[in-house]
Chain A
Amino acid sequence: MINLLNTTRVTKWLVSGPPFLYLTLFFLLPSLIMVVASFRYPGDYGGLAPLFGVEPGKETGLTLETYRFFFSDFIYTQIFIKSFGVAMASTLVCLLMAYPLALLIAHSPRKHRDFMVLLVILPFASNFLIRVYAWMIILGPQSAFSLAVNHLLGWFGIAPVPLLFSSFAVLVGMVYVHLPFMVLPLYTNLEKHDPVLLDAAQDLGANAWNRFWKVTWPLSLPGVYSGAALVFIPVLGMFAIPDILGGTGDILIGNLIKDQFLGTRDWPFGSTLSIMLTIAVLLLAGITAMISRQGVRQ
């Protein structure tokens, strides 16, 4: 009995040990380094000030200054809220665009599916920045697309709007770059659905609308959740797309953090921003998990 207990305990450690070690090494430790950095003073030329005073009069040791600073100016909270808004909008648009595509691929003949998936991930074959710059041309004021859109708006008596360097351009870029991350988990999920379930639903009186909302959609929720996570979190941290496609007012958290490390060289404040972001994401993930656990009991 005791022997058995010991072996199960040993097995448990053997099984959960490596992932635990991995998480400690690559997630917990870096996070801890950042937490410590956020409580320190910035160095004279970037980096961090030494923890123990070398010169009198210099600020050393630990401080809550960066957190006080974060909450003293509402602009930071505002940028956080705006970033979460952009991330949610991007996730939603990605979902709306990816779902029909994933359904189409999942319902195609088996021999065509791999090819269609390949087409979905093909954009990854070219450089990310080049693809985003391409949108600068597409959305630029003299592009055929811009001209067509503004021409159309003209019919409704709306003055021409610049498409580039706007929140719209940022959203387009975000959706374009992250769409495959939504399509793939959705497709993987939808492809596993047993088609006989739809036959059964129809046989029992369900029309196309009910077949989708009562069978396909609830069964696809795990795919929706992982797709949403794969889009939402990277969009939150993204700085290149707002930099390239956004206007001066389209700064997001990612830009803010990048500036602290590469521009202003205020590492403690950059760390603070990163930690606030991590906390916000974890909170959101926790809430989502709780809601989904209540919604669909597997």
Chain B
Amino acid sequence: MALLEIRNVTRRFGDLVAVDNVSINIEAGEFFTLLGPSGCGKTTLLRMIAGFDLPDGGQILLDGKDLAGTPPEKRPIHTVFQSYALFPHMTVTGNVSFPLKMAGKSPDEIAVKVKEVLDLVHLSDKGESFPHELSGGQKQRVALARGLVNRPRLLMLDEPLGALDAKLREEMQIELITLQRDVGITFVFVTHSQAEALALSHRIAVMNAGRIEQMDEPSKIYSFPVNRFVADFIGRINILQAEVLEAAPDHLRIRIPGMGEVRAPAKTGAARGQKGVLALRPEQVRIAAKIDDVADENHFPGKVRDFLYVGDITTYIVDLNNGARIEALLPNSATGRAKFFEIGDAVKVAWPKDAGLFLND
């Protein structure tokens, strides 16, 4: 039985359907991520799990028991809020011991548990500090410690790293993974950052406009997006308008305006004449000054229009001679040179015939 079962949950605000018939099963010990753009309903779903809001339809079950009649303070579920929501009038120790006091634990037990959890988040020396004396990262850790200290069945984190700068965010990501593994508590993590979701999660649910578009492991979501929204939202990708010319059992022959005819992997249900897009990751596209005709590759000549140098890799934007535009990615690891191509260079791009995905529009 799943730890948390969300069954056909719907929440409306007037005409707006903020959460639309969502069903999720979350297993004990899982690091589960809700990923989606701002306003897609992630917080609304969290608030219903926490008990601050009630579904208009559907059920939420914890350990098989319907939570409908249980108020937030009685649910063994804690939340780390985006703004941390630390109590400004309490010290770090006061904040972290709060849930234990509410649970009626003895002072001795409280002291032991608070010390344990502060060690865990590396804040042992900050017990007597007040929130306003802490840095953003430290506040984040206090909020985590406060959520974890009474060992909830489920810890929900609503965009907890959003307020941190990039470097700190990366450090906290690594700490979060370690922490979740060490304490063994189920995490439901909410973010609008696809990179964060891919790096942290065991499983991701990609949400859009209140609905779940795809739910799977990070590598599956990245490699096999089920539709254009997911493909576009996760990572950089070339989205090329396409029409099916021939749907063979082992491959597709498609036409891309401004490019020409290409081969793509087979797709069940695709039929001749069907319109859609070809989704192709830049790292699947090879770029070179000269490419010999290879039978198992699609290849086209073009000119470098622009490039994006980010240190370890460079993304080249190439205008094909036939008119289409495509992004190709090149690692800068070759010795002895800093850059491969200049703007205006004539190049060739190529990708394997079994790369890319044809997606319905």
> Which residues does A use to contact B, with CB under 8 Å?
194, 196-197, 199-207, 210, 214-215, 218-219, 296-298
Closest to A219 in B: B89
Given contacts A199-B72, A202-B72, A298-B89, 5 further A-B contacts (CB under 8 A): A199-B85, A201-B98, A204-B98, A204-B146, A205-B102
Contact across chains for B78 and A203 when beta carbons are under 8 A apart: yes
Number of residues of chain B lying within 8 A (CB) of chain A: 23
Given contacts A194-B83, A200-B79, A201-B98, contact A207 B88 (CB under 8 A): no
- B120 smallest CB distance to A (angstroms): 18
Contact across chains for B130 and A194 when beta carbons are under 8 A apart: no
Query: Residue among A196, A203, A206, A214 with the most chain B CB within 10 A?
Result: A203
Contact across chains for B89 and A204 when beta carbons are under 8 A apart: no
Q: Return 20 A-B CB contacts under 8 Å, by A number.
A: A196-B81, A196-B83, A199-B72, A200-B79, A200-B81, A202-B71, A203-B52, A203-B72, A203-B73, A203-B78, A204-B98, A204-B99, A205-B73, A205-B74, A205-B99, A205-B102, A215-B87, A219-B88, A296-B89, A297-B130
B150 at interface by CB-CB < 8 Å: yes
Give Cα A102–Cα B272 distance, bound, in whole angstroms.
Answer: 70
B103 at interface by CB-CB < 8 Å: yes
- B160 smallest CB distance to A (angstroms): 13
Interface string of B145-172 (1 = CB under 8 A from A): 0110010000000000000000000000
Closest to A218 in B: B89
Q: Of A207, A215, A298, which is within 8 A of B73 by CB?
A: A207
Give Cα A194–Cα B99 distance, bound, in whole angstroms.
Answer: 19
B50 at interface by CB-CB < 8 Å: yes
> Which residues does B use to contact A, with CB under 8 Å?
50, 52, 71-74, 77-79, 81, 83, 85, 87-89, 98-99, 102-103, 130, 146-147, 150
- B102 CB contacts on chain A under 8 angstroms: 204-206, 210
Q: Of A199, A214, A298, which is within 8 A of B52 by CB?
A: A199
3 closest A-B pairs by beta carbon, nearest first, are: A205-B102, A200-B85, A204-B99
Contact across chains for B98 and A214 when beta carbons are under 8 A apart: yes
Give Cα A201–Cα B79 distance, bound, in whole angstroms.
Answer: 10
Given contacts A200-B79, A214-B98, A297-B130, contact A206 B85 (CB under 8 A): no
Given contacts A210-B102, A214-B98, A297-B130, contact A202 B73 (CB under 8 A): yes
- B99 CB contacts on chain A under 8 angstroms: 204-205
- B77 CB contacts on chain A under 8 angstroms: 203
Give Cα A203–Cα B152 distance, bound, in whole angstroms.
Answer: 11
- B147 CB contacts on chain A under 8 angstroms: 204
Give Cα A218–Cα B87 distance, bound, in whole angstroms.
Answer: 10
- B4 smallest CB distance to A (angstroms): 16
Give Cα A297–Cα B71 distance, bound, in whole angstroms.
Answer: 33
